[in-house]
């Protein structure tokens, strides 16, 4: 459908698709890797003589500042490709229960990997920059406590993306609808709530008799 025809259709039907130019983060290339650390050792807190492992919560992996390197490949068959390398850090917090006191205590730790991969990073003008983005999905595969140490086996899926901010022509339904007005219900105190309650039954119900 030609642009003029789409504009004409839009005038007739407010919910018809129409072309719009937007600015968006475009993914030029992406790939994933796996990492597995079979023995991550964390010391238990000093006052924790006997502990039970509870859980581990992972934070998103990040590229350590100053470690990202993008080196274009000179091989003719790999034109517009580059070697992307960086140090990846995955922080996490493990929780254990101190059996002597019953309290839950947190132990901070992190994983660190040296990453290197070949990715599509096309030539561009000087003012255009690509961003290397990472996403991680981590899980504890096994855990045990030996003496004063918590030992974890951790697996990590790592997704690496080459992202550039571009203009895109897309089909849309137009702007989003106007948002609803926010609720602003005032909190009532316990007496206000009680004073609005209907009168409850004062006596227990009687035994039902047959008609």
Q: Sign of torsion, CA 10 16 20 22?
A: positive
Residues 52-77, mean pLDDT to the nearest whole number? 92
The answer to whether residue 158 is domain-embedded is yes
Over range 71-95, report the average pLDDT: 90
User: 3 lies in a domain?
Assistant: no
The mean pLDDT value for 99-103 works out to 87
**Is residue 7's pLDDT more than 60?**
no
95 has a pLDDT exceeding 90: yes
- What was the pLDDT predicted at 83? 93
Give SS3 for 60: coil
Enter the pTM of the model: 0.73
Q: Residue 161 domain-assigned?
A: yes
Most confident of 17-21, 99-103, 112-116, 127-131: 112-116
**Domains identified in the chain, total number:** 1
What residues contact residue 164 under an 8 Å CB cut-off, 6+ apart? 25, 26, 28, 124, 128, 129, 130, 131
Task: Answer yes or no: is 183 within a domain.
Answer: no
In a domain? residue 194: no
Residue 97 or residue 210, greater confidence: 97
DSSP state of 150: E
Residue 190 domain-assigned (yes or no): no
Which has more confidence, 5 or 75?
A: 75
* Structural domain for 29, as ranges: 25-166
In a domain, 102, yes or no: yes
pLDDT, one tens digit per residue, over 107-125 is 999 999 999 999 999 988 8
């Amino acid at each position: 459908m030609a642009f003029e025809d789409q504009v004409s259709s839009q005038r007739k039907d407010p919910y018809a698709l129409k072309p719009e130019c937007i600015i968006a983060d475009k993914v030029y290339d992406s790939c994933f890797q796996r990492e597995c650390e079979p023995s991550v050792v964390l010391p238990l807190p000093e006052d924790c003589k006997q502990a039970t492992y509870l859980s581990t919560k992972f934070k998103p992996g990040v590229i350590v500042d100053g470690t990202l390197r993008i080196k274009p490949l000179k091989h003719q068959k790999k034109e517009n490709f580059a070697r992307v390398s960086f140090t990846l850090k995955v922080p996490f917090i493990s929780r254990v229960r101190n059996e002597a006191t019953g309290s839950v205590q947190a132990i901070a730790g992190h994983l660190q990997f040296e990453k290197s991969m070949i990715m599509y990073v096309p030539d561009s003008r000087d003012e255009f920059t690509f961003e290397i983005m990472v996403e991680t999905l981590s899980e504890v595969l096994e855990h045990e406590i030996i003496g004063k140490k918590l030992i974890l086996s951790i697996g990590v899926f790592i997704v690496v993306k080459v992202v550039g901010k571009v203009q895109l022509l897309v089909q849309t339904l137009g702007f989003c609808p106007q948002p609803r007005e926010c609720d602003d219900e005032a909190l009532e105190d316990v007496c206000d709530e009680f004073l609005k309650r209907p009168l409850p039954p004062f006596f227990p119900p009687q035994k039902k008799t047959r008609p």
